[in-house]
A and B are shown apart, each in its own frame.
Chain A
Amino acid sequence: MNIPIKTWRFHGGVHPADGKALSNTVPAQRAPLLERYTVAIQQNIGAPPKPVVAKGDTVKKGQLIAEPGGFVSAPVHAPTSGTVGDIVEVPGANGGAIPAIEIISDGKDEWGSGLDPIPNWKNTDREILKKRIADAGIVGMGGAAFPTHVKLSPPPEKVIDTLILNGAECEPYLTADHRLMLERTEAVLEGAAIAAKILRVDRVFLGIEENKPDAIAALNEKAGQYGVTVVPLHVRYPQGGEKQLIYALTGRSVATGGLPMDVGCVVQNVGSCAAICDAVVEGHPLIERYTTVTGTPVANPGTWILRLGTTVEQALTFAGGVKARAAKVIMGGPMMGFAQTSLGVTVTKNSSGILLLQWQETAEYTSNPCIRCGRCVRACPMKLLPGPVSVMVESENYDEAEKNYVMDCMECGVCTYVCPAKRPLVQHFRRAKAEINAKRRAAKAKQA
Chain B
Amino acid sequence: MLVTILVSAGVVAAVGLALGALIGFTAKKFEVQTDPKIEEVQELLPNANCGGCGYAGCADFAGAIVTKGADPSGCAACSEANLAKIAEITGKAAGKKEKMTAVVFCSGSFSRSTRAADYNGILDCRSASIVAGGGGKACRFGCLGYGSCARACPFGAIEIRDGLAVVHPELCRACGKCVNVCPRKLIRLVPASAPVHVYCNSLEKPAKRRKFCKNPCLACKKCIRTDENHMQMQGGLVRVNYSNPPEASFVEQVKCPTGALQVEEIHRRIAALKPAEPAPKAAPAPKKEESK
The chain A residue sitting closest to B134, CB to CB, is: A95
For A54, list chain B residues within 8 Å (CB): none
For A316, list chain B residues within 8 Å (CB): 290
Flag if A338 contacts B282 (CB, 8 Å): no
One of B19-27, B96-104, B121-129, B221-229 at the interface: B121-129
Query: How far apart are the CA atoms of A96 and B134 in the complex, in Å?
Result: 8
Contact with B along A318-341 (1 / 0, CB 8 A): 001111011101010000001111
Pick the residue among B130, B133, B140 that contacts A431 (CB under 8 A): B130
> Given A339-B132, A341-B132, A427-B127, do A313 and B290 touch, yes or no (CB 8 Å)?
yes
Flag if A326 contacts B288 (CB, 8 Å): yes
Pick the residue among B116, B127, B284 that contacts A342 (CB under 8 A): B116
Flag if B127 contacts A428 (CB, 8 Å): yes
One of A226-234, A279-287, A359-367, A380-388 at the interface: A359-367
> Given A327-B284, A342-B116, do A428 and B122 touch, yes or no (CB 8 Å)?
yes
- Tell me the smallest distance from the CB of B53 to a CB of chain A, in Å: 22
Q: Taking the complex as formed, is A343 at the interface, i.e. its CB lies under 8 A from any CB of chain B?
A: yes
Flag if B286 contacts A325 (CB, 8 Å): yes
The chain B residue sitting closest to A320, CB to CB, is: B292
Query: How far apart are the CA atoms of A331 and B291 in the complex, in Å?
Result: 20
Count residues on chain B whose CB falls below 8 Å from chain A CBs: 27
Q: Taking the complex as formed, is B285 at the interface, i.e. its CB lies under 8 A from any CB of chain A?
A: yes
> Given A339-B133, A359-B284, A434-B130, do A427 and B290 touch, yes or no (CB 8 Å)?
no
In the complex, which residues 254-270 of chain B have their Cβ closer than 8 Å to any Cβ of chain A?
none
Q: Taking the complex as formed, is B35 at the interface, i.e. its CB lies under 8 A from any CB of chain A?
A: no
In the complex, which residues 35-94 of chain A have their Cβ closer than 8 Å to any Cβ of chain B?
92-94
The chain B residue sitting closest to A89, CB to CB, is: B205
For B289, list chain A residues within 8 Å (CB): 322, 325-326
Q: Taking the complex as formed, is A151 at the interface, i.e. its CB lies under 8 A from any CB of chain B?
A: no
> Given A96-B140, A365-B120, A427-B121, do A338 and B288 touch, yes or no (CB 8 Å)?
no
Q: Taking the complex as formed, is B117 at the interface, i.e. its CB lies under 8 A from any CB of chain A?
A: yes
For A442, list chain B residues within 8 Å (CB): none
For B133, list chain A residues within 8 Å (CB): 95, 339-342
Q: Taking the complex as formed, is A424 at the interface, i.e. its CB lies under 8 A from any CB of chain B?
A: yes
Query: How far apart are the CA atoms of A155 and B110 in the complex, in Å?
Result: 53
In the complex, which residues 86-122 of chain B have their Cβ closer than 8 Å to any Cβ of chain A?
116-118, 120-122
Q: Taking the complex as formed, is B13 at the interface, i.e. its CB lies under 8 A from any CB of chain A?
A: no
- Tell me the smallest distance from the CB of A33 to a CB of chain B, in Å: 20
- Tell me the smallest distance from the CB of B25 to a CB of chain A, in Å: 42
Contact with A along B74-92 (1 / 0, CB 8 A): 0000000000000000000
> Given A96-B140, A325-B285, A359-B286, do A338 and B132 touch, yes or no (CB 8 Å)?
yes
Q: Taking the complex as formed, is B70 at the interface, i.e. its CB lies under 8 A from any CB of chain A?
A: no
Q: Taking the complex as formed, is B12 at the interface, i.e. its CB lies under 8 A from any CB of chain A?
A: no
For B134, list chain A residues within 8 Å (CB): 95-96
- Tell me the smallest distance from the CB of A436 to a CB of chain B, in Å: 13
Query: How far apart are the CA atoms of A331 and B132 in the complex, in Å?
Result: 10
Flag if A93 contacts B132 (CB, 8 Å): yes
Flag if A341 contacts B286 (CB, 8 Å): no
Q: Taking the complex as formed, is A430 at the interface, i.e. its CB lies under 8 A from any CB of chain B?
A: yes
Q: Taking the complex as formed, is A5 at the interface, i.e. its CB lies under 8 A from any CB of chain B?
A: no
The chain B residue sitting closest to A97, CB to CB, is: B140
The chain B residue sitting closest to A343, CB to CB, is: B288
Query: How far apart are the CA atoms of A325 and B284 in the complex, in Å?
Result: 9
Query: How far apart are the CA atoms of A321 and B122 in the complex, in Å?
Result: 32
Query: How far apart are the CA atoms of A226 and B136 in the complex, in Å?
Result: 50
For A92, list chain B residues within 8 Å (CB): 132
Most chain A beta carbons < 10 A, residue from B122, B124, B126, B134: B122
Pick the residue among A321, A340, A364, A431 that contacts B292 (CB under 8 A): A321
For A339, list chain B residues within 8 Å (CB): 117, 131-133
The chain B residue sitting closest to A433, CB to CB, is: B130
For A94, list chain B residues within 8 Å (CB): 132
Query: How far apart are the CA atoms of A96 and B133 in the complex, in Å?
Result: 7
Most chain B beta carbons < 10 A, residue from A322, A323, A365: A322
For B131, list chain A residues within 8 Å (CB): 95, 338-339, 427, 430
Query: How far apart are the CA atoms of A259 and B121 in the complex, in Å?
Result: 31
Pick the residue among B116, B122, B130, B282 that contacts A341 (CB under 8 A): B116
Contact with A along B122-154 (1 / 0, CB 8 A): 101011001111101010100000000000000
- List the interface of chain B (C-beta within 8 A of A): 116-118, 120-122, 124, 126-127, 130-134, 136, 138, 140, 282, 284-292
- List the interface of chain A (C-beta within 8 A of B): 92-97, 313, 316-317, 320-323, 325-327, 329, 331, 338-343, 359, 364-365, 367, 424, 427-428, 430-431, 434-435
Give 7 pairs: A residue, B residue, CB < 8 Å, sorted on A: A316-B290, A331-B132, A338-B131, A364-B118, A424-B121, A431-B127, A435-B126
Further pairs besides A93-B132, A430-B130: 6, Cβ < 8 Å: A95-B133, A326-B288, A326-B289, A339-B131, A343-B288, A359-B286
Please give me the 3 A-B residue pairs with the lowest Cβ-Cβ distance, nearest first.
Answer: A341-B133, A95-B132, A341-B116
